[in-house]
Amino acid sequence: MRAIRLYEAGDLRLVEEAPPRPTAGETLVRVTDVGLCGSDLHWFSEGGIGDARLTRPVVPGHEIAGVIHAGPLAGTPVAVDPAIPCGVCASCLGGHRNLCPQVLFAGHGTVDGGLRELMAWPTPLLHPLPRGLTTTDGAVLEPLGVAIHALDLGHLRPACSIAVVGCGPIGLLLLQAALASGATSVLAVDPLPHRREEARRRGAAAALSTQEARVHAPEQQVDVAFELAGDDAAVEQAMALVRPGGRVVLGGIPGDDRTAFPASLARRKGLTVALVRRMKEDVYERGIRLVETGRVDVASLVTARFSLEKAPEAFRSAAAREGLKVVLDPSS
């Protein structure tokens, strides 16, 4: 089978290798769709993310969907949950599988991800897609799951107001899910005009550039601010936009593994700060319901598709942030 392996920063190679053999409890999936995420771009451009570094050539990709390849469920389209928690530690038993210290994660460290024609994965982590959802939709369920978990951490109340600082795919998904969850006003902030336009199209009451948000921050004062850009300026902006006593949820991943903000700003407002770590147990089912009922549009997020042979071009396109979601098709 064909696969893409990342050998070092910037070095993606198309290779031929033997297909995986499912072990007990695993199912073989023919991969059809893999979305590229900001964390994939960290691996590609830096050879790591946070304190995790590339130690061997790895298959990238964790936003995965495909079709079950063999067995009684052959032909079933599925979304692939990329996280394999241990299931027995205190975090897992306490309902926090996303915080499992022993978690294995597709495309992270030494665990091969989705940029290959076939992958064997634990059967319980394959979520059948209902009629009406494509496998491309299925791949976008993973970032939607992150957005849902971020909303949970924001403790949204009915008729609340929020700010979304960083309107990439996760920010745009969070915006829609927030409106579906009872938020009545969303302020979107992004430096890129095409992303601000997408935020307006998806229901933002206002969409401001970074500079505009800085000028108008004192008059905004939302209940909850979500930072999804991954830099200190966005963190500070989120804190400036939220009201005293409000919450700030940090979902961006900084390139240098450091986050800093003015302590006086956060302290004087008495802010509660929460950090996003992937997603929890029920988000795939909740995400499927949001998409199935039309409350969240995932299909139009995908603005570019590439074959495996064009993986380097796909990664460069995603890094340029010219569109929204870039998807690769290992089956083409």
Mean pLDDT of all residues belonging to the chain: 94
In the prediction, which pLDDT does 209 show? 95
Dump pLDDT digits (tens) for 158-210: 999 999 999 999 999 999 999 999 999 999 999 999 999 999 999 999 999 99
Instruction: Give residue 8's Cα distance to chain centre.
Output: 23
Give how far Cα 321 sits from Cα of 46, 49, 192, 193, Å. Answer: 17, 19, 9, 11
Per-domain residue ranges for the chain? 2-140+298-329, 147-275
Sign of CA dihedral 309, 301, 321, 34: negative
CATH architecture of the domain 147-275 equals: 3-Layer(aba) Sandwich (3.40)
Provide the strand spans (E) within 123-175. Answer: 126-128, 161-165
> Exposure of 180 by Cβ count < 10 A (0-12 exposed, 13-18 middle, 19+ buried)?
middle
Give the residue-averaged pLDDT of 47-57. 84
Sequence-distant (≥ 6) Cβ neighbours of residue 310 within 8 angstroms: 328
CA distance 221 to 244: 8
CA distance 190 to 209: 5
CA distance 257 to 234: 15
- Tokens standing for residue 26: 């695993």
**Residue 37 phi/psi, 5° resolution?**
-115, 165
Share of the chain above pLDDT 90, in %: 85
In the prediction, which pLDDT does 39 show? 87
- Tell me the β-bridge partners of 13: 5
Instruction: Name the pLDDT band for 224 (thresholds 50, 70, 90).
Output: very high
Q: Please choose, from the candidates 251, 248, 250, 254, the residue with its C-alpha nearest in 3D space to the C-alpha of residue 267.
A: 248
Dump pLDDT digits (tens) for 100-121: 999 999 998 889 999 999 999 9
User: Residue 276: which H helix or E strand, with range?
Assistant: none
Q: Please choose, from the candidates 309, 305, 241, the residue with its C-alpha nearest in 3D space to the C-alpha of residue 269.
A: 241
CA distance 231 to 168: 14
**Residue 129 phi/psi, 5° resolution?**
-95, 130
DSSP 99: G
In the prediction, which pLDDT does 44 show? 87
Instruction: Name the pLDDT band for 322 (thresholds 50, 70, 90).
Output: confident
In the prediction, which pLDDT does 38 show? 87
Give the residue-averaged pLDDT of 254-258. 86
User: Residue 313: which H helix or E strand, with range?
Assistant: helix 311-320
In the prediction, which pLDDT does 52 show? 81
Dump pLDDT digits (tens) for 120-161: 999 999 999 999 999 999 999 999 999 999 999 999 999 999
Residue 216 has pLDDT above 80, yes or no: no
The pTM for the full model equals: 0.94
CATH number of the domain at 2-140+298-329, please?
3.90.180.10
Residue 80 in contact with residue 42, Cβ under 8 Å?
no
> At residue 210, what is the residue type?
T
